[in-house]
Amino acid sequence: MDAVTYPDNRVIEHIKQSFIPLQVPYDAKPLSVDFNIKWTPVLITLGEDGREHHRTVGFLDPDSFIANSILGIGKYHFDNDRYPEAAICFENIIADHPQADVMAEATFLLGVSRYKSLKDPAHLKEAYLSLNSKFPESEWTKRAYPYRLL
């Protein structure tokens, strides 16, 4: 990622605006032990309290890196009961990164975030219908399967 992803200007700006980055060698103790790092690269989104909210393992091209990091920010908001902020992150992925490998997860979490924020189960069914249409074999579609009954 040092040769392709990190030097990309979009990635540089995204990191500057969204994160306090820390690059640690996979064998640097105690962090490699504390965070169970077994392979590189590993990207972990932590909250200010040090809790992990998202993790990816392996190479990501610049667009995938940005989409995955936005997912991490969204999951941070979601985990902290800030559902409107989480929904904005998931909407951003869907609108700006349509080819990202995290699209199905973002779609699922968008439906749940909207439901938890607005208390309208129609958002859960909408998420399932979207998932079933675009990602019929996804694990996220299977997880949303009960929402079809709403």
Report yes or no on 130 lying in a domain: yes
Show the beta-strand stretches assigned E in the chain.
42-46, 52-57
Provide the number of structural domains found in the chain. Answer: 1
Confidence of residue 27 (pLDDT cuts 50, 70, 90): confident
Report yes or no on 33 lying in a domain: yes
Report yes or no on 92 lying in a domain: yes
Reported as a single tens digit per residue, the pLDDT across 59-109 is 999 999 999 999 999 999 999 999 999 999 999 999 999 999 999 999 999
Can you give the CATH number for the domain in which 42 is found?
1.25.40.10
